[in-house]
Amino acid sequence: MKIALTALTLLAAVNALANAPLGIVCREDNRLSNGGLREVFLTPTAQGYVLQIQSVPSLNSSDIKTDTWATGLNCRMDEKTPLAYCKNPEGNVVLSKKRSEVFIDSLEVADKRKTNNYIDISLSFDNVAQKTLSFSASHCQVFGGDA
């Protein structure tokens, strides 16, 4: 009986996670190389999505700065990549988009071109960018839903 109850509880938890609204998290941790930690969260709440930024200046710092860029957002998100368009009644627009840089970094003919992919997250009001953060695309992911 305990095994059946445990299995049903686990199945319910997995089902709830699969049906959870999507969110995006990006994280860049440079604390081991004398840098800081930056994180951005686009998370669902009962009052709509919230865009929040957290940062820690260094490895030994206990100071955690939290800045909420926008609340009450209605969002449309991609299920597989951290792309989103969000807007709230106050007119704030949050855009998460992918940007690629393609370049050649050698004179050798055999060397191939290189590509760096980034996720840019911006907050705009009246079509004017107010704030922007960029992360390597490998440092961002979608969570919730079927992600």
Instruction: Quick: pLDDT tens for 11-59.
Output: 343 444 445 799 999 999 998 888 889 999 999 999 999 999 999 988 8
In a domain, residue 12? The reply is no
User: Which three-class secondary structure state does DSSP give residue 85?
Assistant: strand
What is the per-residue pLDDT for 34?
A: 84
In a domain, residue 71? The reply is yes
In a domain, residue 13? The reply is no
Quote the tokens at residue 91.
Answer: 């007119």
In a domain, residue 36? The reply is yes
Provide the domain limits for residue 119: 20-143
In the chain, % of residues over pLDDT 70: 86
3-state helix/strand/coil string of 15-65: HHHHCCCCEEEEEEECHHHCCCEEEEEEEEECCEEEEEEEEECCCCCCCCE
What pTM was estimated for this model as a whole? 0.77
In a domain, residue 106? The reply is yes
Residue 95: exposed, middle, or buried by beta-carbon count in 10 A (0-12, 13-18, 19+)?
Answer: middle
| Structural domain count of the chain | 1
Cα distances (Å, whole numbers) of residue 42 to 33, 78, 145: 27, 13, 14
Q: Is the pLDDT of residue 89 over 90?
A: yes
Taking Cα atoms as reference points, which of 93, 90, 92, 96 lies closest to residue 141? 96
In a domain, residue 105? The reply is yes
On the CB side of 127, CA atoms within 13 Å amount to 0
In a domain, residue 3? The reply is no
